[in-house]
Amino acid sequence: MSNHPTDLAPRPLRAGVRGASSPLLAFAVLVVAGLVAGCSDKPKVVVDPEIEEKIRVRQQNFSEIGTLFKNLGDTIKKGDPLQGNPAVQSAVQQLASYAKDQKFWFDAGTGPESGAKTDAKAEIWTDRADFDQKVEALVVETDKLQQVYAGGDDAAFGEQLKTVGVACQNCHKKYRVDDGD
Ligand code: HEC
């Protein structure tokens, strides 16, 4: 983005058009507004493909973490057996292994400043020590989930899964853009 003052002009217009639920029209308005603003020097942010790929992989990994976590919760809700259930055993293992891998997914340059579409907030890189604690908390809690699973107590497993969920939220609250999911 340039700091051309007229960049601000299309905003109210855009909101109004979005209300009319015509994304195409909204896009056209933005294009026209861009032309009017005369910012032809920087029409689009070019994202480094290597950075874009790292972000894509990160999001894919988180998406898998989300599926594993949800499946475990659903299994409990349905009252399906936990012990001796290969899907549960594998999900518990995979969650712990993803948790340990997480620390490699936040290379410098893969934040919002890259211009890529990411929900990772810039604070990850400015408050790194605190962020790393949130990463570590997930490692601790998913390791514990494995131990509790091995212990065979279903009620304790349910409780520990909730604690894992809190570790997810503690990080999301501060370091992930909340877009309602
Ligand atoms: C240490 C921080 C941290 C922890 C812990 C964490 N997340 Fe996230 N999560 C993020 C960040 C940051 C993003 C945004 C990534 C991006 O858009 O580049 C994200 C994105 C996601 C996404 C969206 C992925 C997509 O499709 O773009 C899901 C789903 C998700 N996390 C689930 C979980 C679950 C479930 C847990 C716990 C088991 C968890 N996360 C733990 C930081 C964390």
pTM of the full structure:
0.80
Residue list, ligand 1 pocket, CB within 6 Å: 55, 58-59, 62-63, 65-66, 69, 118-120, 134-135, 138, 164, 167-168, 171-172, 175-176
Residue-wise pLDDT for 2-35, tens only, equals 444 444 444 444 444 444 456 665 655 555 554 5
**In Å, how far are 8, 40, 76, 105 from 90, measured between CA atoms?**
51, 53, 15, 22
Residue that wins the pLDDT comparison between 116 and 3: 116
Identify the burial level of 160 via C-beta atoms within 10 angstroms of its C-beta, where 0-12 means exposed, 13-18 middle and 19 or more buried: buried
Ligand 1 pocket mutation pick from 69, 133, 168 by most atoms within 8 angstroms of CB: 168
For the chain, the 3-state helix, strand and coil shares in percent, each to the nearest 5, are: 70, 0, 25
3-state secondary structure of 131: helix
Q: Ligand 1 pocket test: pick from 71, 93, 172, 178 the residue with the most ligand atoms within 8 Å of its Cβ.
A: 172
pLDDT in tens, 28-57: 555 555 455 555 555 577 899 999 999 999
Averaged over 77-83, what is the pLDDT?
98
* Run of H or E residues at 103: none
Q: Rounded to an integer, what distance in angstroms lies between the CA atom of residue 97 and that of residue 83?
A: 20
Pair 98, 65: CB distance under 8 Å:
yes
CA atoms of 68 and 71, how far apart (whole Å): 5
Q: Atom 38 in ligand 1: which residue has the minimum CA distance?
A: 168
Q: How many CA atoms lie within 13 A of 150 on its CB side?
A: 7
Residue 6 alpha carbon to ligand 1 centre in Å: 36
Decide if 92 contacts 145 (C-beta within 8 A): yes
- The residue whose C-alpha atom lies closest to atom 2 belonging to ligand 1 is 171
